[in-house]
Structure 1
């Protein structure tokens, strides 16, 4: 299938031609019932104004609701989250400008510690392939001066610094609420998660000639405590609910929050790190995610005993995930650490 490639798009078809051969494309990623989407859903909506309104009963009800949806869904969306709408508009503009740079410029640059990624170098089948590109940026790198895009994208750096600070504050509030709901102290989370350990990820999903049968991002769970996602209104995010894939309806004013593997382990499986994916579209899609992560040597244990999981460090967990993906093409995750 011949297509005219936009200069900003990664050369997916050229680099991964074997994956997109005619024979392969007759068996697309969504070919089986287990990958079919059965319905569209609106995620549970939490108004965070209730946490700060001054009414203690209202606050307790909000805390309990956040705990409940984190157990039942593993995902929820929040409004009145405290992140300025103008800041979110600014990051959209800067993000689009960055990704509209020619592919060769993006891949050769050293912007944000060479954080540019695209496709899946280890993929051996479409089930392991993501039609997407991203800048996965450690927050610690936002304060550093580098070369490459330094002058051209100074405004991007400034906006990302502001957004990182705002999302970090929101993540800490939510982590504290989730710990409170379990009757536990969040001291461990607060001490181990800092700007030096967390990430921002700028995502772009280019138009795909094989939509909707190609993953924008393969099914996975997040290897962090929790994730905060700001997305456009194109749609494409899907998650596993009651053993079925459901498509998430975008909300123009909400941010999406999801529980990560570390919070599931820390909560002793009270909160659920739910498998999710992104499907491609004929138009491009953008999102930006904040990942609340601990230091690599932080020990992850359950807040209450007996624990379902062996204690492990974040470094051990990341290393095991990477080893599994390299060896099998898939993430195994918490199953490796069951006690």
Structure 2
């Protein structure tokens, strides 16, 4: 079931009727109009979080899955053999990437070739953006997702069941790179450098994933999986009541692959066999996950797994996510299950779609606890 904005409005009406002092839509609008985000609330000294951040008691929104007490952990894959051009090690890495993509949908990579300096500078750049003067930040605050740099709190503020304890910025860096003047000076140079590093590494990962599917190394890139890239910088302020809200609600990603850099604080969890598994921060590592569109074109061979971020009294938590997708950019490319992977025993499980159609559905639905991918099943 997909929760629509109408459903949320009905919910808001019910809440307003039962509690005349609480009008959800008015409070959402008031929060949005501050243009100061969640950080603005923390800076004001609040000790109780506003009701718009409270998680609803809805089983499909945040289910009752338990945090795993087992030693199960997301695979960590050393890419040294690929970086060094070691053919024997490359074969082993391809096997491990394939296994992780099929059973976990997530893996961490080390020795990926990106200098530690670049990783530290992008985290510093993201932190620097959010911690600069609020009047400077406000100039970039917008809900127009077609702009080259978009800063706001919760892209789905008006449609999701609850507001996440997180501020974000997004910059689309490919296929049409932003002009330098479009980016904030505090993080401009490192955003350009980091995006070049992410594109280079993303193409390497797409080669490994192609080979893991039994395809030519260039297959995924040749059909457009590396055409688009956008960078998200997330800022999770410390939360006075983390048990009442989420940093990021349960969801799967609306792209081909995501390359995530997280800081030392932690809080990322993935849903594996109905158990929440922590993805612990590893110094210098990147977290890689399969997105919805790669699950669709691999016909469920690779899994786009739901994940979430817990709110915490620790903070701020910084993360930088690189999404491979052209998002809402109008292109004529159609994506469906890859023909070479289909057979009489493995017919297509999804209908064909464009990235524009998929992403518009995803954005309009918001993080409501349901998977956008289910809407495209045959």
Short-chain TM bin:
0.7 to 0.9
What's 1:335 paired with? 374
1:310 matched to 2:351: yes
Shift of 1:124: 6.0
Where structure 1 has 5 or more consecutive residues not aligned to the other structure, the ranges are 1-5
With over 3 angstroms needed to count, the CA separation of the structure-2 counterparts of 1:99 and 1:323, relative to structure 1, is closer
The 5 A counterparts of 1:1-339 are 9-11=39-41, 17-19=50-52, 34-39=64-69, 42-109=73-140, 113-119=148-154, 120-122=156-158, 125=161, 128-140=162-174, 143-146=178-181, 149=184, 152-153=185-186, 156-185=187-216, 186-193=218-225, 197-282=228-313, 283-294=315-326, 296-297=330-331, 298-303=333-338, 304-305=341-342, 306-325=347-366, 329-339=368-378
TM-score, normalised to structure 2, is 0.76
Whether the aligned pair in 2 keeps the contact of 1:324 and 1:332 (CA below 8 Å) is no
Whether the aligned pair in 1 keeps the contact of 2:105 and 2:290 (CA below 8 Å) is yes
TM-score, normalised to structure 1, is 0.84
Shift of 1:221: 0.4
Per-residue CA deviations over 1:43-62 (Å, capped at 9, x if unaligned) read 21111012244443322111
Shift of 1:72: 0.7
Farther-moved stretch of structure 1 (136-145 vs 286-295): 136-145
With over 3 angstroms needed to count, the CA separation of the structure-2 counterparts of 1:309 and 1:148, relative to structure 1, is closer
With over 3 angstroms needed to count, the CA separation of the structure-2 counterparts of 1:199 and 1:148, relative to structure 1, is closer
Shift of 1:71: 0.6
CA distance in structure 2 between the aligned counterparts of 1:32 and 1:164, rounded to whole angstroms: 33
Whether the aligned pair in 1 keeps the contact of 2:229 and 2:322 (CA below 8 Å) is yes
CA distance in structure 1 between the aligned counterparts of 2:297 and 2:50, rounded to whole angstroms: 42
| SS, match of residue 200 in structure 2 | helix
CA distance in structure 2 between the aligned counterparts of 1:245 and 1:194, rounded to whole angstroms: 30
| SS, match of residue 319 in structure 2 | strand
CA distance in structure 1 between the aligned counterparts of 2:319 and 2:241, rounded to whole angstroms: 21
Where structure 2 has 5 or more consecutive residues not aligned to the other structure, the ranges are 1-35
Per-residue CA deviations over 1:18-41 (Å, capped at 9, x if unaligned) read 435xxx689699x98715423375
Per-residue CA deviations over 1:272-324 (Å, capped at 9, x if unaligned) read 00000001111210010111114643211112223111111111111222333
Aligned length: 321
| SS, match of residue 366 in structure 2 | helix
CA distance in structure 2 between the aligned counterparts of 1:265 and 1:28, rounded to whole angstroms: 27
With over 3 angstroms needed to count, the CA separation of the structure-2 counterparts of 1:332 and 1:72, relative to structure 1, is closer
| SS, match of residue 203 in structure 1 | strand
CA distance in structure 2 between the aligned counterparts of 1:309 and 1:7, rounded to whole angstroms: 38
Per-residue CA deviations over 1:73-92 (Å, capped at 9, x if unaligned) read 10000011011111111112
Whether the aligned pair in 2 keeps the contact of 1:131 and 1:216 (CA below 8 Å) is yes
Shift of 1:248: 1.5
